[in-house]
């Protein structure tokens, strides 16, 4: 079995060369400039042109592609990338991801890959246990938290309408009882996308005011619940993208349940805060919700694409996603068909990297990883705030630090944006810009297993040195 260039079915040479390329990239990552060198436009030029008429030898293709693409790569898996909330890849989960590609399993049905089915079942149990969520919950492995929000909210839509005597899977939303959706003012943009894709719209979401840290105000949530009638979905958040704060679930959820509302928690990265007893004060009550969306490719340091949708009511979850019969309810002891819990049909066996990543960490390792990043976020905040030109805008309760720079005689918004751009340009570390309560800020997210305290110190020094130079301009 050979391709048109005479390349065998398994080209060991090509795969080994590619492994070497990957290793070189990862080994250089801690030392290279964190930002990219080339823009997307430049890459379109160097990689583009019309598709060659004749094929090219795979090894030449890979050499060309890796060499030309590299200037346009960001050091986001590296230890000093603090942009957005990214995370890197644990060695075991990265290696398992390679293996998943080589194995090329279709995790659609148990019969198409018993290993994928089993891995999903096992990882489900581990994740529910780690996060302290109801063990009877069903779990779907999706591409990211946006799709986890979508999956959970599809189950919510099914259930609240079913209780009103409406079959949304069969009859759609036209003519359905009106669903009231309540969310915090600080709900993540992807939650709104999920609502939009579900036909619930974003214009009618009742927006609940938040406090200075972005947490929903419990009294305001109760007011919103009181005025709502008919089917209600309440969306809470664990881990605000700017501040890392948690909506007060323990205070809000009991009132929502009394109302018969479905409570969903978007916990893309913050849900992992559940593993730390020291965060109980913030994460209490999250387990009372009906569904939870989280990511594995952020704080759990599994490669993309990896999100997790968790639903307490397995029947509602199944009914909203089922590939065949929407009213089919999973029987006792039934073998897991992975596609019954997600919006996709054919799909990657994305539980393999999760399985191997979690097993390599162990329970203790997950805890230590989360704890380390939280401690490093506090360290970063304290090193930066030694500078009188720095204000830390948030209570650093998790892994997020919001920084504002000011300099006598300059506008602080413009100055903060200028310093953020200069930090990115300097290249020791990378942090993104954000806006908090109308103020420009730089957001530092510590989410990588490989970040050391020395990386934090070096980055804080670099930021302060950039700041010092900016102030002199």
Taking CB under 6 A as the binding criterion, the range among 138-146, 151-159, 276-284, 412-420 that sits at the site for ligand PLP is: 138-146
Among positions 77, 83, 87, 144, the unique one binding ligand PLP when judged by CB under 6 A: 144
**413 exposure class (CB count in 10 Å sphere: 0-12, 13-18, 19+):** middle
| Other CB atoms within 10 Å distance of the CB of residue 189 | 10
Tell me: cis bond preceding 305? Omega within 30 of 0 counts.
yes
Q: What are all long-range contacts of 366-370, with beta carbons under 8 Å and residues at least 24 apart?
A: 366/130, 366/272, 366/275, 366/300, 367/275, 367/276, 369/299, 369/301, 369/449, 370/272, 370/273, 370/275, 370/276, 370/299, 370/399
| DSSP-assigned letter for residue 81 | B
Residues 74-103, mask of contacts with ligand PLP (x by CB under 6 A): -----------x------------------
Nearest approach in angstroms of CB 88 to ligand PLP is 15
d(CA 161, CA 172): 10
Taking CB under 6 A as the binding criterion, the range among 110-118, 140-148, 169-177, 274-282 that sits at the site for ligand PLP is: 140-148
d(CA 471, CA 422): 12
Among positions 186, 266, 287, 344, the unique one binding ligand PLP when judged by CB under 6 A: 266
Q: Which of 329, 453, 443 is nearest to 394 (CA)?
A: 443
244 Ramachandran zone, left/alpha/beta (phi>0; psi -120 to 50): left
Size of the site for ligand PLP (CB under 6 A): 13
Nearer to ligand PLP, 119 or 268 (CB): 268
| Other CB atoms within 10 Å distance of the CB of residue 172 | 11
295 binds ligand PLP (CB under 6 A): yes
How many angstroms from the chain centroid is the CA of residue 192? 15
Among positions 200, 268, 393, 407, the unique one binding ligand PLP when judged by CB under 6 A: 268
Q: Which of positions 113-132 make contact with ligand PLP (CB under 6 A)?
A: none
Instruction: Specify the 3-state DSSP secondary structure of 244.
Output: coil
241 binds ligand PLP (CB under 6 A): yes
Nearer to ligand PLP, 268 or 358 (CB): 268
Among positions 239, 285, 303, 432, the unique one binding ligand PLP when judged by CB under 6 A: 239
274 binds ligand PLP (CB under 6 A): no
Nearer to ligand PLP, 151 or 376 (CB): 151
Nearest approach in angstroms of CB 400 to ligand PLP is 10
246 binds ligand PLP (CB under 6 A): no
Residues 300-339, mask of contacts with ligand PLP (x by CB under 6 A): -------x--------------------------------
145 binds ligand PLP (CB under 6 A): yes
Among positions 269, 352, 355, 430, the unique one binding ligand PLP when judged by CB under 6 A: 269
Joined tokens for residue 438: 């109308």
| Other CB atoms within 10 Å distance of the CB of residue 191 | 26
Q: Which of positions 415-454 make contact with ligand PLP (CB under 6 A)?
A: none
245 binds ligand PLP (CB under 6 A): no
Nearest approach in angstroms of CB 426 to ligand PLP is 26
Q: Which of positions 375-404 make contact with ligand PLP (CB under 6 A)?
A: none
Q: Which of 112, 97, 139 is nearest to 340 (CA)?
A: 139
Nearest approach in angstroms of CB 146 to ligand PLP is 3
Nearby residues of 321 by Cβ (< 8 Å), 6 or more positions away: 140, 151, 154, 155, 339, 340, 341, 342, 343
Nearest approach in angstroms of CB 137 to ligand PLP is 19
Nearest approach in angstroms of CB 149 to ligand PLP is 6
For residues 141-168, b (16+ Cβ closer than 10 Å) or e, as one string?
bbbbbbbbbbbbbbbbbbbbbbeeebeb
Nearer to ligand PLP, 188 or 317 (CB): 188
214 binds ligand PLP (CB under 6 A): no
d(CA 390, CA 133): 39
In 253-365, where do the E strands start and end?
262-266, 291-295, 307-311
Is the CA virtual torsion 29, 33, 34, 36 positive or negative? negative
Nearest approach in angstroms of CB 292 to ligand PLP is 11
Question: Applying CB under 6 A, which residues contact ligand PLP?
Answer: 85, 144-146, 188, 190, 239, 241, 266, 268-269, 295, 307
């Amino acid at each position: 079995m050979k391709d048109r260039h005479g390349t065998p079915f398994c080209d060991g040479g090509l795969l080994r060369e590619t492994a070497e390329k990957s290793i070189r990239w990862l080994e250089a990552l801690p030392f290279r400039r964190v930002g990219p060198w080339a823009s997307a436009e430049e890459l379109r030029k160097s990689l583009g042109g019309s598709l060659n008429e004749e094929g090219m030898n795979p090894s030449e293709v890979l050499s060309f592609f890796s060499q030309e693409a590299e200037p346009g790569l960001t050091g986001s898996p590296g230890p000093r990338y603090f942009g957005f909330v990214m995370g890197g890849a644990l060695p075991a989960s990265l290696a398992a991801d390679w293996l998943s590609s080589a194995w090329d399993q279709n995790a659609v049905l148990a019969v198409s890959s018993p290993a994928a089915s089993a891995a999903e079942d096992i990882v489900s149990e581990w994740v529910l246990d780690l996060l302290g969520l109801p063990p009877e919950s069903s779990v779907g492995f999706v591409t990211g938290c946006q799709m986890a929000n979508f999956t959970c909210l599809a189950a919510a839509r099914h259930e609240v309408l079913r209780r009103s005597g409406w079959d949304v899977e069969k009859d759609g939303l036209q003519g359905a009882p009106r669903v009231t959706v309540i969310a915090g003012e600080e709900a993540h943009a992807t939650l709104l996308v999920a609502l939009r894709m579900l036909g619930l719209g974003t214009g009618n979401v009742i927006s609940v005011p938040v406090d200075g840290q972005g947490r929903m105000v419990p009294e305001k949530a109760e007011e919103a619940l009181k005025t709502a009638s008919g089917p209600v979905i309440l969306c809470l958040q664990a881990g605000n993208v700017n501040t890392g704060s948690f909506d007060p679930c323990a205070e809000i959820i009991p009132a929502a349940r009394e109302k018969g509302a479905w409570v969903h928690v978007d916990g893309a990265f913050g849900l992992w805060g559940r593993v730390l007893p020291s965060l109980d004060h913030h994460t209490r009550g999250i387990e009372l919700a009906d569904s939870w969306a989280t990511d594995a490719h952020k704080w759990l340091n599994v490669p993309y694409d990896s999100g997790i949708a968790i639903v307490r009511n397995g029947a509602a979850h199944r009914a909203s996603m089922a590939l065949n019969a929407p009213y089919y309810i999973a029987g006792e002891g039934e073998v897991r068909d992975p596609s019954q819990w997600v919006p996709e049909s054919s799909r990657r066996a994305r539980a393999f990297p999760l399985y191997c990543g979690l097993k390599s960490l162990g329970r203790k390792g997950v805890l230590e990883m989360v704890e380390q990043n939280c401690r490093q976020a506090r360290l970063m905040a304290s090193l930066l705030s030694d500078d009188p030109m720095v204000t830390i805008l948030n209570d650093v309760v998790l892994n997020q630090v919001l920084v504002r720079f000011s300099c006598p005689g300059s506008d602080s918004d413009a100055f903060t944006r200028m310093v953020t751009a200069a930090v990115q340009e300097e290249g020791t570390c990378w942090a993104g810009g954000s806006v908090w309560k109308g103020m420009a800020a730089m957001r530092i997210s510590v989410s990588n297993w490989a970040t050391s305290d020395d990386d934090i110190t070096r980055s804080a020094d670099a930021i302060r040195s950039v700041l010092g130079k900016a102030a002199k301009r």
